[in-house]
């Protein structure tokens, strides 16, 4: 009886795992073939930014650009060699702590940044990518769009 | 070598130059006066405008072009609906002092007065549609050009904050009805956005629902 109880307890995590399949994000999160385009929502406390992000795999890393829906550039980024840099940042985002935070989150999604365990991310079956930066309280939603 | 083949590269070059955008010729003082009069006259006569648009954004860092399309509705009483239909859904509505920005993921209403940036955006958008504000020396330095059959007005922002976003805004007016056909927004980093308006319908009745926010 005691032995069968132990076996049951040992199997319980497997049972639970099968009931609630883990949705661990594979990295890089973005589609790696050619260019991927996303309609993006970034939420930070009470502020929201929406726009379109185009991400492209290049030799040695990733490049991307985020513009608002009217085409105005929010920032470009280059992720390679374990880090990510933001370029051409629009003035209201052009603060070192904002650049650093967004760059680290994008590096994480591109698979070039380290995983410090402070980010929760998932990729849904419909291709939507969700990322929550727990330390900074920022949420990202990437919804794939066609050409 | 046959001479015609010797000259072929030059002929091709000329043909290529002919296919490019018309060169800009600065307008004389008289031409500038006529342009302003015609544009203002056309703007005064326009109570509403509905049209389609195609927006092309060149992203130099990726060597990619982002193309989006949608519909635009304008009514003279400070109402504007700018609606992107493909490849993403996004609606921007200006209803006097309020702005609605809506996507499939979010919805936000802001007061135009609350932000200088929004005031500038609205000013640029309304100028792009109705051609007014071309004499607003506080916001832009304005230069007028002839470009073949079309007129071009180049607005260079005066405000430092706006200059960080746009290095210049170029409005192309046709000389048939003196309304805007194209808006080109140049950014300091060299990227540009081109918006082309087509299928224009002037002075059609546009109901309040089109511009509803609440």
CB < 8 Å to A79, chain B:
none
Average pLDDT score, chain A: 82
> Which value does ipTM take for this structure?
0.80
Q: Per-residue pLDDT for chain A (147 aa), expressed as one digit of tens each?
A: 555 555 554 544 444 444 434 355 666 778 767 899 999 999 988 788 899 999 999 998 999 999 999 999 999 999 998 889 999 999 888 999 999 999 999 998 888 777 777 888 888 888 899 999 988 899 999 999 976
Mean pLDDT for chain B? 85
How confident is the model over A21-56, as pLDDT tens digits? 435 566 677 876 789 999 999 998 878 889 999 999
Contact list in A for residue B188 (CB cut-off 8 A) is 88
- Cβ-contact B184, A68 below 8 angstroms: no
Would you say domain A26-144 falls under CATH 1.10.10? no
Q: Which residues of B179-212 are buried (b: 16+ CB within 10 A; e: fewer)?
A: bbbbbbbbbeeebbbbbbbeebeeeeebeeebbe
Q: What is the 3-state secondary structure (H, E, C) of B34-92?
A: HHHHHHHHHHHHCCEEEEEEEEEEEECCCCEEEEEEEEEEEECCCEEEEEEEECCCEEE
Tokens of B164: 């960080």
* Of B61, B84, B88, Cβ closest to residue A63: B61
* Per-residue pLDDT in tens (0 to 9) along chain B, 214 residues: 444 444 444 444 434 444 446 788 999 999 999 999 999 899 889 999 999 999 999 999 999 999 999 999 999 988 999 999 999 999 999 998 899 999 988 999 989 888 776 777 777 777 777 766 677 777 889 999 999 999 999 999 888 888 888 999 999 999 999 999 999 999 998 899 999 999 999 999 999 999 999 7
3-class SS at B178?
A: coil
Chosen CATH of B22-203 out of 3.50.50.60, 2.50.20.10, 2.30.40.10, 3.40.50.300: 2.50.20.10
- Res A25: pLDDT: 62
Contact call for A87 and B61, based on CB within 8 A: yes
- Chosen for mutation from B56, B69, B88 (greatest number of chain A CBs closer than 10 Å) is B88
Q: Say if residues B54 and B169 touch (Cβ distance below 8 Å).
A: no
Return the residue of B nearest to A142 by Cα.
Answer: B105
Please name the residue of chain A whose CA is at the shortest distance from the CA of residue B85: A69
For chain B, domain boundaries: 22-203
């Amino acid at each position: 009886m005691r032995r069968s109880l132990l076996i049951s307890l040992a199997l319980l995590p497997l049972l639970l795992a099968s009931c609630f399949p883990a949705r661990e994000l594979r990295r890089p999160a973005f589609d790696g073939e050619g260019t991927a385009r996303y309609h993006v929502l970034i939420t930070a406390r009470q502020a929201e930014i929406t726009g379109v992000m185009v991400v492209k795999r290049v030799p040695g890393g990733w490049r991307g650009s985020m513009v608002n829906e009217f085409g105005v550039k929010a920032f470009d980024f280059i992720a390679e060699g374990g880090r990510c840099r933001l370029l051409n940042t629009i003035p209201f985002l052009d603060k070192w702590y904002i650049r650093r935070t967004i760059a680290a989150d994008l590096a994480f999604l591109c698979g070039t940044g380290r995983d410090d365990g402070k980010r929760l991310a998932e990729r849904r079956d419909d291709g939507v990518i969700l990322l929550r930066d727990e330390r900074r309280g920022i949420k990202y939603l990437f919804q794939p769009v066609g050409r | 070598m046959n001479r015609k083949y010797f000259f072929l590269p030059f002929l091709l070059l000329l043909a290529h130059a002919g296919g490019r955008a018309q060169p800009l010729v600065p307008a004389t003082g008289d031409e500038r006066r006529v342009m302003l009069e015609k544009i203002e006259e056309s703007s005064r006569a326009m109570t509403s405008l509905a049209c389609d648009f195609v927006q092309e954004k060149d992203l130099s860092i990726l060597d990619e072009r982002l193309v989006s399309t949608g519909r635009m509705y304008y009514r003279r009483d400070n109402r504007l609906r700018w609606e992107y239909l493909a490849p993403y859904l996004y609606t921007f509505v200006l209803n006097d002092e309020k702005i609605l920005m809506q996507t499939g993921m979010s919805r936000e209403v802001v007061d135009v007065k609350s932000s200088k940036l929004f005031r500038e955006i609205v000013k640029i958008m309304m100028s792009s549609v109705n051609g007014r504000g071309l004499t607003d020396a506080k916001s832009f330095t304005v230069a007028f050009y002839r470009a073949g059959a079309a007129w071009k007005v180049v607005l260079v922002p005066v405000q430092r904050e706006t200059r960080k976003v746009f290095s210049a805004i170029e409005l192309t007016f046709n000389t048939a009805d003196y309304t805007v056909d194209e808006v080109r927004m140049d950014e300091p980093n060299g990227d540009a956005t081109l918006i082309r308006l087509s299928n224009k319908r002037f002075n059609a009745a546009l109901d309040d629902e089109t511009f509803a926010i609440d």
